[in-house]
Structure 1
Amino acid sequence: MTIAADYVDFAVRELRGVSPTYERLALAVSRDDELLARLGELPPGKRQPNLLFGVVRLLGGPVDDPAAFRGFAVANWPAIAAEMCVRATQTNEAGRCAVLLPVLAALPQPLALLEVGASAGLCLYPDRYAYRYGDHRVGSGTPVLDCAATGLMPPTRLPRVVWRAGLDLNPLDVTDPADVAWLDALVWPEHSHRRERLRAAARIAAADPPLLVRGDLVDDLPALAARAPAGATLVVFHTSVLYQVPRARRDAFVDVVRELPGHWISNEAPEVLPYDGLPEPPSEALHNVLALDGRPLAWSRGHGQSMVWFG
């Protein structure tokens, strides 16, 4: 797929009806030969729209108007390209916990959570948040995570977590203003509710920091998993992470995680982690597949805003 086609696909599948601002930008970039040529000079894994848009926002550039965005991008391309080469899209969306909760609550308690691609670790606190599935509420904490759930009975309890750890090539620190600024820049412009949720979740993590380890998802996962306490169910999980990992390393990761004790929860796009016999997705929008131990259970949207259970 060409860079232009990637930007059109992102606009149609992820942004339409979700972020009109970024949809306009993605379509504008897809038609801009100069910006496409400059993106083509970057490594293949550093060309994606949400990385470009996040870096421009981090650098104080405009995103509301495609012409102003283009002017800023062209004038500041060396700085933009340098940031894109050293950063990754480490969106740390606590709302994804609403998709994970039905599975986590059903596993043998207590849990030892290990997130691969943890960013700042905000998804390691599913027991500290509250949830709202339609008119069904679980928990009493903040923030409250809303999820439109179809086809399942929402959970009635929160999981009991006794250990939480994350593995990331570049873990972020919610007590570092620069790291929080990057997380903030990755939140889409219209999503003030997600920005407020990020800040509330960051306060929870800062008050009780998780164990975050800098490392590789294949080479360093077994050693970190071995640190989980005895008597707790180990749960290795990841969401919207493996698209940044080359296919051979994805396959190696799957081999490694299948050999670990406990359980494995994945929440990835079907073209990234494929399964046979999936039902049709609910719409043309991009949906992840929520799976437990390699068995697909539900379609889910990328920020945890909805899920359709079929497992």
Structure 2
Amino acid sequence: MSLKIISERFRRFAIRECRGSSELYEQLSLNVAEDEEILRLASAARSGQPIPNLLFGAVHYLLLKGYTHELREFYGSIVDRPRNPQHAFPYFRDFCIHYQEDITAMLTNKLVQTNEVRRCAYLYPSFCFIYDMVKKPLSLIEIGTSAGLQLAWDKYRYDYGSHVTYGNPHSNVLIASEVRGERFPFLLPKSPPIAERIGIDLHVNDLQNEEDCLWMQALIWPEHKERRELFQKAARCLQQTPVRFIEGDGIALLPNIVATIPEDTIICVFHTHVANQIPDKAKQLLIKQIREIGQMRDIFHLYNNMWDTKLHLDYFIDGIEHNEIVAETDGHARWFRWELDHS
């Protein structure tokens, strides 16, 4: 990939994703976009990976691991009073050059596997919609599961600003998100029943493994204290939740996994902010497989970042295909705009 393309990705990352959410990453991205030496370092990233997330995650990981450098003083995840982000880039650049070998090793070996727990805020109404339609326990299959935190969405409690909470009333994992627009989603007071949870990924992050856990935390942006706290609470919750993890290509494995799902449950394949890392040919194969399965039994496919940023729901009932746009969502699920009609 040319440095020009990588530069544009950092510039786009700064404006579209970081602005209003992380001033540190916005400032670093804009500066990296103009720095040929750091762009060349970033070009070592694994094919198909979101390069800005991977580079910033690698640097954050090394800082969290205890690497000594003044750059630490700009990270709210490390110090109580971080320095002004507008002055951070010279220190970031020096850190990258000083630890170039270690950063390159991470760029070539690590995957961006963010487990953004707050995205469950829009998964909950989506699965409520599905359960209300079929009235069967849900068998969940998550492609690109990372550590599996989203597979425990039914164990969390949800606040949509209406002074009422939904989901598990006893959970200490409280997820708050703003519902924008004129439509409010259909919400069951308590979580729908789950029959099975299956998480598939090329590398499943084991939260009992110190390195995996630290990498997951490094992918959380430095200013996002609430995200870190949610991650830690959800991780503890997941320890009490049975999940069948499978390492491998989720698309290739899907037909065989589906064959093990009991007929008296409904198959729910889902993935959030994963499809942008999937090649177009593999995306087409996934859609083909869902259609083939849909001719044999009912199945739901909930996803975003396949063709656009919106949340989509494709499903087959009695062999008939349905395609719905569910919502427009913020990347970290601070808000979503519900579009699905429940009638």
Shift of 1:23: 0.8
Cα shift at 1:74 = 1.0
Question: Structure 1 stretch 55-64 or stretch 98-107: which is displaced more?
Answer: 55-64
Kindly provide the CA deviation profile for residues 175-195 of structure 1, in whole angstroms up to 9, marking residues without a partner as x. Answer: 222211111001010111110
Flag the 1:34–1:205 CA change in 2: closer, same or farther, 3 A.
Answer: same
Q: Does the 8 Å contact 2:138/2:195 carry over to 1?
A: yes
Q: 1:281 aligns to what?
A: none
Aligned twin of 1:129: 156
Q: CA deviation at 1:45?
A: 2.6
Q: What is the Cα deviation at residue 42 of structure 1?
A: 4.2
Tell me, in whole angstroms, the C-alpha distance in 2 between the residues paired with 1:48 and 1:98.
27
1:94 matches 2:117: yes
What's the counterpart of residue 148 of structure 1? 178
Superimposed CA distance per residue, residues 151-206 of structure 1 (whole angstroms, 9 cap, x where no aligned partner): 22351332211210011010111222221111100101011111011011111111
**CA distance, structure 2, for counterparts of residue 265 and residue 307 of structure 1:** 19
- Per-residue CA deviations over 1:264-288 (Å, capped at 9, x if unaligned) read 333323xx424xxxxxxxxxxxxx3
- 5 Å-filtered alignment, 1:153-172, equals 153-157=185-189, 158-172=191-205
Matched, 1:27 2:48: no
SS at match of 2:172: coil
Are residue 45 (structure 1) and residue 78 (structure 2) matched? Answer: no
| TM-score (normalised: structure 2) | 0.82
Whether the aligned pair in 1 keeps the contact of 2:45 and 2:51 (CA below 8 Å) is no
2:172 is the counterpart of 1:138: no
Q: Deviations over 1:98-147 (max 9, x none)?
A: 11111201222311101000001100011100001112321321211111
Deviates more, 1:227-236 or 1:17-26: 227-236
The answer to whether structure 1 residue 74 and structure 2 residue 108 are counterparts is no
Alpha carbons of structure 1 residues 95 and 42: separation in structure 2 relative to 1, 3 Å: closer
Partner of 1:187: 220
Looking at structure 2, the residues matched to 146 and 25 of structure 1 have their Cα atoms a distance apart, in angstroms, of 29
DSSP 3-state at the match of 2:245: strand
- 1:66 CA displacement: 1.6
CA distance in 2, matches of 1:228, 1:254: 19
TM-score between both structures, scaled by the size of structure 1: 0.90
Q: Is the 8 A contact 2:303 2:313 kept in 1?
A: no
User: Aligned residue pairs: how many?
Assistant: 296
Question: Aligned runs of 1:251-266 on 2, under 5 Å?
Answer: 251-260=284-293, 261-266=297-302
Query: Contact 1:133–1:154 at 8 Å: present in 2 too?
Result: no
Structure 2 unaligned runs (5+)?
Answer: 75-87, 315-322
Alignment CA distance shift 1:302-1:118 (3 Å)? same
Structure 1 residue 43 displacement after superposition: 4.4
Structure 1 partner of 2:317: none
Conservation of the 8 A alpha-carbon contact between 2:49 and 2:277? no
- Counterpart of 1:283 in structure 2 is none
Task: Report the alpha carbon displacement of residue 44 of structure 1 after superposing the two structures with TM.
Answer: 4.0
Instruction: Report the secondary structure of 1:120's partner residue.
Output: coil
2:255 corresponds to 1:219: no
The amino acid across from 2:140 in the alignment is L
Shift of 1:300: 0.7
Kept in 1, the 8 Å contact 2:185–2:338? The answer is no
Structure 1 position 209, deviation (Å): 3.8
Aligned to 1:239: 272
What corresponds to 1:110 in structure 2?
137
CA distance in structure 1 between the partners assigned to 2:166 and 2:269 by the alignment? 23
Deviation at residue 208 of structure 1 after TM alignment: 2.4
Q: Tell me which amino acid in the other structure corresponds to 2:333.
A: G
Question: CA contact under 8 A between 2:119 and 2:332: conserved in structure 1?
Answer: yes
Could you report, residue by residue, the CA deviation over 1:241-299 in whole angstroms, capped at 9, with x for unpaired residues?
01111111111122112322433333323xx424xxxxxxxxxxxxx311111421210
1:84 and 2:107 correspond: yes
Deviates more, 1:234-243 or 1:244-253: 244-253
* Counterpart-to-counterpart distance in 2, 1:110 and 1:161: 5
- Name the CA distance, whole Å, in 2 between partners of 1:306 and 1:47: 23
SS of the residue corresponding to residue 24 of structure 1 reads helix
Which one of the candidate residues 197, 201, 223 is aligned to 2:234? 201
* Aligned AA (1:130): R
Tell me whether 63-72 or 36-45 shows the greater mean CA deviation. 36-45
1:48 is displaced (CA, Å) by 1.1
RMSD of aligned alpha carbons: 1.7
| Structure 1: unaligned runs, 5 residues or longer | 275-287
